Structures are given as C-alpha cells and as structure tokens.
Amino acid sequence: MNAPFFNSPATAIGPLPTGHPPVAAKRVGVLLVNLGTPDGTDFQPMRRYLKEFLSDRRVIEWPRAAWYPILYGIVLNTRPKKSGHAYEQIWNHERNESPLRTFTRAQGEKLAERLAGLETVVVDWGMRYGNPSIAEKVDALIAKGCERILCFPLYPQYSAATTATVNDKFFEHLMKKRWMPAARTVPAYHDEPVYIDALARSIEAHLATLNFEPERVIASYHGIPQSYFKKGDPYHCHCQKTSRLLKERLGWADGRLMTTFQSRFGPEEWLQPYTDKTLEALAKDGVKSVAVFNPGFVADCLETLEEIAMQGRDSFLENGGADFSYIPCLNDSPEGMDVIEHMVRRELSGWAG
C-alpha cells in the first residue's frame, strides 16, 4: 500500500488523498516593512504605539530597571498628547491614517504591479510597530501559499535600531511556526547606484521648480545615540557614504551639501551635527536660503513633514533665513519605485523570474 504524499502546507507535488483540504500553489512572498504608525492621534492609540516602539531593546538599550520607570512613569503619561498633536498636523484625514501608512501601501501596490509578470510572487506590506503588523502579514502570505518570503526593511542605511529590529520581529514570528517558509532579507542599499541616482534626480527636479537657488542643501538623517555608533553600529558610516556619493553624482562643490542628524531623544549625546541647531546657526550666520531632504526615509512621515518641513522651516525663518524648501522623500514616485523594484528583483534571484 502506497503512503500518501505529505508536503508543506504551501506545496503540492503529487495527488492528494481523498478528503485532503485544498493546498495552495507554491508562491514567493515579498514583504515591505517600514517603521510603524499609530492607529489614531488620540491619547490611547498614541500611547499604545509609543509603548511598543519605546519598549524595543534595539531602540532603547538602557537597562530595563533604569528605563521602565521613566517610560511608564513619565514618557507614556506625557508624550502621547504631544506626539498626537504633532501627528494631527500631518494626518491623512481623508483615509484617517498617517502619511507613512498611505505611502507604504502605495509602494506595495505599485511594486505588485511592476512584478505582475512574475506569476508566483505575492507582494504585501506591514509595519514594525503598530498595524498592520509583521506577524499578521507573514501569516497572510503563508495562507496565500508562500513557501518562501523575502522581508524588505525599508531603510537604505543599516542600523540595529531599524533594519535589525525588523529582521528580529520577522524571524521571531517564524520561530513560532511548525512549518517555516524559507526566508531572506534585503540588505542596506545606502551606496547602490540606483538609489543614489534616484535621490539625485529627485533633488534636481525639485530645485528646478524653485524661484531661488539654495545656498545650502541639507541631507538630514535620523540620528542614533553616539554610544550605539561606538559599539559598532555602521549607520553613521552608511549616512556619510550616501552623502558623499550623492555629492559626486550631483557634481556639487564642497560645502553645498551638508549632512546632519535629527530626532534625538533623551539625555544622551547623539550623532552630530544636529539638524535643528544647524538650521538655526546657518540663519544666524547670514545664510538666507536652504533646502532640506531626508535620504534615510523612503516615505514621508512625522519626522519629515512635521519635524523638518514645519518645525525646521519655522526655526530657519525665525532666526533670519528668507527662503526654505523641503524636498519630499522618494515615496511612491517612479524614482522611488525604481529603487524598491531593483532591490527586490535582485534579492529574488533564484526564487522567481
């Protein structure tokens, strides 16, 4: 008597026994993952989001005994209101969601269109913090018959606090599975020619629309504590290389493109120079026009739209500046999608297409 075929839930290589439930055709999943977003701007959804984010040991490396009394005693009682107000300034009220969710969804949808010729590929998107979660989307891909999954942390420059924590959560969920799909992750792409060229074309196109010539163009990256860098995090080096390659691609003279770091939090010293202090100092020193862009963000979000395009602009003008322009992130633009598609197709080598 022949034994029945027994395969993974996503693979059928022979006839199934009578009464066996349907088995999905084997597919390859692609999961785009960005940082995260609250579900709303009110106190409770903001608190829930901040609790998940600021409890991550990759984000805050302090001993829990020192950090948790601060987090639960002060931060989660005061910061949700302040952060909710900031989110309200940039909230997509039409969809009732943050711009980051809007753009990440669009990136997923457009990537699916671009990969439509690869019939076995299924594209989805999720968030490290908040919804839709990595776990939810991994389960959805498996349910669609994906026996291989490519996880793409949407961060051009690697940091343990961003890329690594996405990978942590991805593999952590797979560890709970009786049947585990094969898995890959997309590496940092801070020096990929397609990424550098996309940034350059975006900057050139934006500057061509202005009625002034910026004296300085600032590449503002999200910061990390200096202590993380000293422990070996390559993020600072990745940011500096991106800026150097971009300056060379644009053909600009030394000094026109500046690299700064934003969004510091807590009492520690972070990577410098700080973006807010730089904008203030430039204005006070007589620089009248600047443009700012965020090469470390693949989609516009709170840190770009509120912190830079609003707060940064106000600070520059209040301290003596005359002209300020914010250059949007690549988002789901053709240039931005070229980068995402290039990286995904390369990392799918041997799996699809």
Within a 10 A sphere around the Cβ of 32, how many other Cβ atoms?
A: 24
Q: Is the peptide bond before 273 cis (omega within 30 degrees of 0)?
A: yes
Within a 10 A sphere around the Cβ of 82, how many other Cβ atoms?
A: 10
Residue 7 domain-assigned (yes or no): no
Predicted local distance difference test score (pLDDT) of residue 15: 66
User: Which pairs from 132-141 meet CB under 8 Å and 24+ separation?
Assistant: 134/31, 134/33, 134/166, 134/169, 134/170, 134/173, 135/169, 135/173, 137/31, 138/29, 138/31, 138/170, 138/173, 138/174, 141/29, 141/31, 141/181
Assess whether 156 and 198 both reside in one domain: no
> Do 110 and 332 meet the contact criterion of CB atoms below 8 Å apart?
yes
Residue 17 domain-assigned (yes or no): no
Predicted local distance difference test score (pLDDT) of residue 24: 62
Residue 251 domain-assigned (yes or no): yes
Among residues 348, 13, 341, 5, which one has the least CA distance to residue 182? Answer: 348
Assess whether 241 and 295 both reside in one domain: yes
Assess whether 180 and 200 both reside in one domain: no
**Residue 8 pLDDT level (bands cut at 50, 70, 90):** very low
Assess whether 172 and 201 both reside in one domain: no
φ, ψ (nearest 5 deg) of residue 268: -70, 160
Residue 46 domain-assigned (yes or no): yes
pLDDT tens for 85-121 read 999 999 999 999 999 999 999 999 999 999 999 999 9
Residue 280 CB partners (closer than 8 Å, separation 6+): 315, 316, 319
Among residues 213, 98, 96, 223, which one has the least CA distance to residue 159? Answer: 223
Predicted local distance difference test score (pLDDT) of residue 17: 79
CA distances from 249 to 199, 273, 298, 309 (A): 10, 23, 19, 25
Q: From CA 198, how far away is CA 339, in angstroms rounded?
A: 7
Bridge partners of residue 37, in order along the sequence: 130
Predicted local distance difference test score (pLDDT) of residue 19: 76
Mean pLDDT of 145-171: 98
Assess whether 94 and 178 both reside in one domain: yes
Predicted local distance difference test score (pLDDT) of residue 12: 43
Question: What percent of the chain is modeled with pLDDT above 70?
Answer: 94
Predicted local distance difference test score (pLDDT) of residue 14: 57
Among residues 113, 83, 109, 111, which one has the least CA distance to residue 98? Answer: 83
pLDDT tens for 54-75 read 999 999 999 999 999 999 999 9
Answer whether residue 329 shows pLDDT above 60. Answer: yes
- Domain count for the chain: 2
Residue 263 domain-assigned (yes or no): yes
Q: From CA 33, how far away is CA 186, in angstroms rounded?
A: 11
Assess whether 142 and 225 both reside in one domain: no
131 versus 3: the higher-pLDDT residue is 131
CA quadruple 89, 340, 185, 29: dihedral, nearest 10: 100
Within a 10 A sphere around the Cβ of 84, how many other Cβ atoms?
A: 21
Assess whether 174 and 224 both reside in one domain: no
Q: From CA 125, how far away is CA 105, in angstroms rounded?
A: 7
Residue 83 domain-assigned (yes or no): yes
pTM of the model: 0.93
Assess whether 114 and 48 both reside in one domain: yes
Assess whether 223 and 148 both reside in one domain: no
Predicted local distance difference test score (pLDDT) of residue 93: 97
Domain that holds residue 264: 193-326
Mean pLDDT of 215-244: 98
Residue 229 domain-assigned (yes or no): yes
Q: From CA 237, how far away is CA 134, in angstroms rounded?
A: 28
Predicted local distance difference test score (pLDDT) of residue 11: 43
Predicted local distance difference test score (pLDDT) of residue 7: 41
Residue 253 domain-assigned (yes or no): yes
CATH of the domain at 204: 3.40.50.1400
Assess whether 271 and 147 both reside in one domain: no
Assess whether 126 and 225 both reside in one domain: no
Assess whether 156 and 205 both reside in one domain: no
Mean pLDDT of 299-307: 98
pLDDT tens for 193-209 read 999 999 999 999 999 99
Predicted local distance difference test score (pLDDT) of residue 328: 98
Q: How far is CA 219 from the centre of its chain?
A: 16
